Structure 1
């Protein structure tokens, strides 16, 4: 597992206090064109190669259910979509409360700057936890974009075990 993440760079994660709620913001420069990064997030054929298997309607107002190799599914409703720079969705894991995730992409030379912000966390610890989960996802995305195979024989069973213990 360490070998898989050896080439990974920092996601530049920061916690943000919005007064009544917290968010976790991650920034990362990816060495792939913006169109390829956008497709990784929005193409139902590409998404399973690095994040999870989606079912549903990929359009504003549509609902997507993601199988992230966790005990419960994650349900997202697409709130805003401005290809290839902005995707905003609701985010609900199992029976937990709903939050929002905003993906912002910008051209950066021959690559792409990614910003992902997970909003509406009730505490700093919750924002820290969601940020940690997104760090793993962004590392997986970066490795996918670099052409590395996913470590499915290691990562997903470990995630299942960890989520089963947390979600109990």
Structure 2
């Protein structure tokens, strides 16, 4: 049975306000996360897209915006049709907490157990996203160190 959630925490050498910008502003998200751009209408119910050169575009809907500490969105499975809903998407939640001059960023993605797809696909999506978050958050930590991210 597929696990329902993924949880990962990283330390970023930047203040909370800066990390907030890196995870919510399209010009930054489109560099460290989607390698071919991002669009974000930053309010609950707002549309969001993430684009990768190799994987195409994924549609999302913004769920929660509480600057500079909480941001969440629901994102579609690759190739999904229609709007992101509980049965065709998972919920991604970013929580930011100051720790001195740095930020502890926690990401939780949940909802794999309620995806309306066969169990083996749920397991595959979960495993792929475990590895995906490891890589993407490593990229965010590295991106935060670059002058372009400031």
- TM-score for the superposition, normalised by structure 1: 0.70
Superposed CA deviations along residues 12-60 of structure 1, whole A, max 9, x for unmatched, are xxxxx9xx96100001111111111110011122222312211252221
| Residue from 67, 71, 81 that aligns with 1:87 | 71
1:93 Cα deviation after fit: 3.3
Asked if 1:48 is matched to 2:30, the reply is yes
Q: 1:1-168 to 2 correspondence within 5 Å? A: 22-52=4-34, 53-96=37-80, 97-122=88-113, 123=122, 126-147=125-146
Structure 1 unaligned blocks of 5 or more = 1-16, 150-168
Q: Which runs of 5+ in 2 are unaligned?
A: 81-87, 114-121
CA contact (8 A) 1:60 1:80 kept: yes
Aligned counterparts of 2:68 and 2:131: Cα–Cα separation in 1: 25
Q: Is the 8 A contact 2:39 2:50 kept in 1?
A: yes
Measured in 2, the distance between the counterparts of 1:140 and 1:148 equals 14
Paired residues, number:
131
State the shift of 1:115 in Å: 0.5
TM-score, normalization by structure 2: 0.77
Deviation at 1:140, TM superposition (A): 0.6
User: Over aligned residue pairs, what C-alpha RMSD do you find?
Assistant: 2.2
